[in-house]
């Protein structure tokens, strides 16, 4: 049984979804206990806390489980209201943040996952093209999505910055693991320089797995999916 009032995060070291929650907790200065979950033998508590998806991250606050990374980040922001705020208060700006967060999760992070799990060369090429098309959309809308300057410290980061901040680590590891090119910095100049600057902030860097470990992870992930097909 998890104790009441405690904050417990169930996660997996390589997951960017889990990293967003860690970054939010770090920015807010919340002390928490971390439980590393195995994706092949999921713990009983994880299955009980997230019966619908059985996925990490799950945050347990005061004995109450919350699943899904974006839902958790909003919960953290609403529960620990003192600044720094991760989402804007104005309803329209807030709805725009929700829209673009959903876009970044589904069209960037999930399309990278599809790429790693792809078996055939045609499938791989299609996933890369899809990722690059979505990076273009981000670049074309960068001024709307990120109206503020690049944060100079973690405390100034908004929710969308958090989602962008974990991309470089994943992109570079996938490029090396699969021997592909995903990022052409010149094509996505504004997005690229913002994500690079964000990834160097301490609150982000502190949650980043090592490049070599992530490369090994993506190679193993690719083999696992190929063997299953
Ligand atoms: N939409 C979910 C995605 C979470 C997710 O895909 N988590 C992965 C780890 S990166 C997981 O738990 N996978 C286990 C499984 O698919 O069985 C979120 O935003 O939290």
Q: Domain holding 123: CATH number?
A: 1.20.1050.10
Q: Over the stretch 79-126, which tens digit does the pLDDT of each residue have?
A: 999 879 999 999 999 999 999 999 999 999 999 999 999 988 899 999
Which of 45, 56, 75, 162 is the best mutation target for the ligand 1 pocket, counting ligand atoms within 8 Å of the beta carbon and taking the most? 56
* Cα 18 to ligand 1 centre (Å): 9
Q: Is residue 167 part of a domain?
A: yes
Cα separation of 97 and 103, whole Å? 10
- Quick one: 73 and 105 in the same domain? no
- Quick one: 124 and 162 in the same domain? yes
Cα separation of 40 and 42, whole Å? 6
Q: Over the stretch 167-180, which tens digit does the pLDDT of each residue have?
A: 999 999 999 999 99
Q: Is residue 95 part of a domain?
A: yes
* Cα 186 to ligand 1 centre (Å): 31
- Quick one: 28 and 104 in the same domain? no
- Quick one: 67 and 120 in the same domain? no
Closest atom of ligand 1 relative to the 12 alpha carbon: 9
* Cα 57 to ligand 1 centre (Å): 7
Q: Is residue 188 part of a domain?
A: yes
* Cα 16 to ligand 1 centre (Å): 9
Give the end of a domain, one of 79, 103, 132. 79
The pLDDT of residue 229 is 59
Cα separation of 212 and 209, whole Å? 9
* Cα 80 to ligand 1 centre (Å): 25
**Cα dist. 62→4, 8, 36, 158 in Å?**
4, 9, 19, 25
The pLDDT of residue 92 is 96
- Quick one: 101 and 184 in the same domain? yes
The pLDDT of residue 47 is 97
- Quick one: 122 and 179 in the same domain? yes
* Cα 62 to ligand 1 centre (Å): 23
Give the end of a domain, one of 55, 79, 103. 79
Burial class (CB in 10 A: 0-12, 13-18, 19+), 51: exposed
Domain count across the chain: 2
Which of 11, 14, 17 is the best mutation target for the ligand 1 pocket, counting ligand atoms within 8 Å of the beta carbon and taking the most? 17
Closest atom of ligand 1 relative to the 15 alpha carbon: 10
Q: Which domain holds residue 14?
A: 7-79
Residues with Cβ within 8 Å of residue 55, at least 6 apart in sequence: 67
- pTM, two decimals, is 0.95
Q: Is residue 85 part of a domain?
A: no
- Quick one: 165 and 219 in the same domain? yes
Would you tell me how many other CB atoms lie within 10 Å of the CB of residue 141? Answer: 13
Report which protein residue has its CA nearest ligand 1's atom 6: 55
Give the end of a domain, one of 79, 114, 134. 79
Report which protein residue has its CA nearest ligand 1's atom 10: 15
Closest atom of ligand 1 relative to the 56 alpha carbon: 12
- Quick one: 219 and 171 in the same domain? yes
Task: Name every protein residue with a CB atom under 6 angstroms from any ligand 1 atom.
Answer: 12, 15, 17, 39, 54-57, 68-70, 105
Task: Residue 37: give its domain's CATH number.
Answer: 3.40.30.10
CA nearest to 186, candidates 146, 132, 143: 132
Cα separation of 199 and 206, whole Å? 10
- Quick one: 96 and 66 in the same domain? no
* Cα 149 to ligand 1 centre (Å): 31
- Quick one: 162 and 212 in the same domain? yes
Q: Is residue 86 part of a domain?
A: no
Q: Is residue 2 part of a domain?
A: no
- Quick one: 108 and 210 in the same domain? yes
Q: Is residue 84 part of a domain?
A: no
User: Span 158-163, mean pLDDT?
Assistant: 97
CA nearest to 45, candidates 75, 5, 4, 9: 9
Q: Over the stretch 63-81, which tens digit does the pLDDT of each residue have?
A: 999 999 999 999 999 999 9
Q: Is residue 211 part of a domain?
A: yes
Is the pLDDT reported for residue 4 higher than 60? no
- Quick one: 21 and 98 in the same domain? no
């Amino acid at each position: 049984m998890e104790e009441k009032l405690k904050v417990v995060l169930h996660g997996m070291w390589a997951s960017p979804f889990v990293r967003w929650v860690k970054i939010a907790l770090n920015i807010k200065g919340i002390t928490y206990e971390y439980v590393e979950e195995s994706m092949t033998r999921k713990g009983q508590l994880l299955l009980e806390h997230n019966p619908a998806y059985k996925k990490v991250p799950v945050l347990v606050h005061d004995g109450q489980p919350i699943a899904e990374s974006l839902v958790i980040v909003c919960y953290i922001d609403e529960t620990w209201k003192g600044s720094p705020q991760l989402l804007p208060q104005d309803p329209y700006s807030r709805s725009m943040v929700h829209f673009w967060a959903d876009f970044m999760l589904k069209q960037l992070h999930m399309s990278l996952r599809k790429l790693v799990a792809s078996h055939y060369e045609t499938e791989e090429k299609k996933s890369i093209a899809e990722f690059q098309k979505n990076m273009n959309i981000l670049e074309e809308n960068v001024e709307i999505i990120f109206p503020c300057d690049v944060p100079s410290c973690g405390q100034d980061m908004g929710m969308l910055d958090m989602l962008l901040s974990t991309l470089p680590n994943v992109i570079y590891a996938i490029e090396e693991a699969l021997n592909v090119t995903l990022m052409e910095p010149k094509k996505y100049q504004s997005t690229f320089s913002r994500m690079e600057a964000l990834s160097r902030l301490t609150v982000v860097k502190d949650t980043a797995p090592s490049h070599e470990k992530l490369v090994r992870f993506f190679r193993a992930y690719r083999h696992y999916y190929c063997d299953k097909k």
